[in-house]
Homo-oligomer: A and B are copies of this chain.
Amino acid sequence: MDLLRVKKGFQLAGVDTGSTPGFLGKKKDSTGALDEGAGVFSHLQEMFYANSRDGDPRKILLVLQAMDTAGKGGIVRHVVGSVDPQGIQYTSFKAPTKAELTHDFLWRIRRHAPRNGMIGVFDRSHYEDVLIARVRSLAPAAEIEKRYDQINQFEQELADDSTTIVKVMLHISSDEQKSRLAERLARPDKYWKYNPGDVDERMRWDGYQEAYQVAIDRTSTGAAPWFVVPADHKWYARLAVQHLLIDALQRMHLDWPAATFDVAAEQARLAAS
């Protein structure tokens, strides 16, 4: 999935949100591909978890950022949801509480860093502190300016602590968002997903695109790369994120851990029990 990795000179505005890089098939082929990927992902995840029981300190952190309706929830449900819940640490970051605001912006984030053998999933993250915070001037400009470096340091720390970091921006067009919000307003079983505030944020679309561009420019590092995933096609975005996670696991060259006990001796004890 190196195709989706942000490289020098990357321009968010230049991405075709309706494209499907690396996937030659159509929507009708995607279900089979997602199911097949789920099997591979689930198998690798189990080996990953198994090794942690044997002292392997590695962990994975998936950061999901996007404009409203871009499909974060669907990724969690259909991609993350295909592996054993015991191996997932999912955290949804809402607007910080008063208590959280008395701390540094990374304080609440650090507490949810994944443990050994776990796949941590951040549904929104510390990036909100340079996105909505910038667009709505929730902090002084100089303070926000500092945060990019603080984020890079924080992510480097995680990487030094054996964390593979995969940062994903699901990228949709303004038109696609409009039609998804309209659908939520047209279906009573979707009302609960609609928030009038979504339209307020939508009215600041350009501001958000600029804030994403700056954030991506400032925080695309070797330790914690960004992947911008065209997301007008939900099926494509799901496949792409699934493959980013599979890639992360495959690069670990995992195998089942060896027995940490004498197998024959244990078989004898068991037989006698």
Q: Which residues of A are interface residues toward B (Cβ below 8 A)?
A: 50-51, 53-54, 73, 76-77, 80-81, 83-86, 88, 90, 92, 121, 123, 178, 181-182, 185, 188-189, 191-194, 196, 199, 202-203, 256-261, 263, 266-267, 269-270, 273
Contacts and interface: CB of A to CB of B under 8 A. Distances in A.
A118 to B, nearest CB: 11
A50 B199 contact: no
Nearest to A190: B256
B256 A192 contact: yes
B259 A191 contact: yes
A88 to B, nearest CB: 6
Nearest to A46: B189
Q: For the complex formed by this chain, how many copies does it contain in all?
A: 2
A58 to B, nearest CB: 15
A215 to B, nearest CB: 23
A76 B80 contact: no
A71 to B, nearest CB: 13
B191 A263 contact: yes
A199 B81 CA distance: 33
Given A185-B266, A196-B266, 18 more contacts: A76-B84, A77-B85, A77-B86, A80-B85, A81-B83, A86-B90, A178-B270, A182-B267, A185-B267, A185-B270, A189-B256, A191-B263, A192-B256, A194-B261, A196-B269, A199-B266, A202-B273, A203-B273
Contacts of A258: 188, 191
Most buried by B among A86, A189, A257, A258: A86
Closest 10 CB pairs of A and B: A50-B192, A191-B259, A77-B84, A189-B256, A199-B269, A81-B85, A85-B90, A196-B261, A185-B267, A192-B257
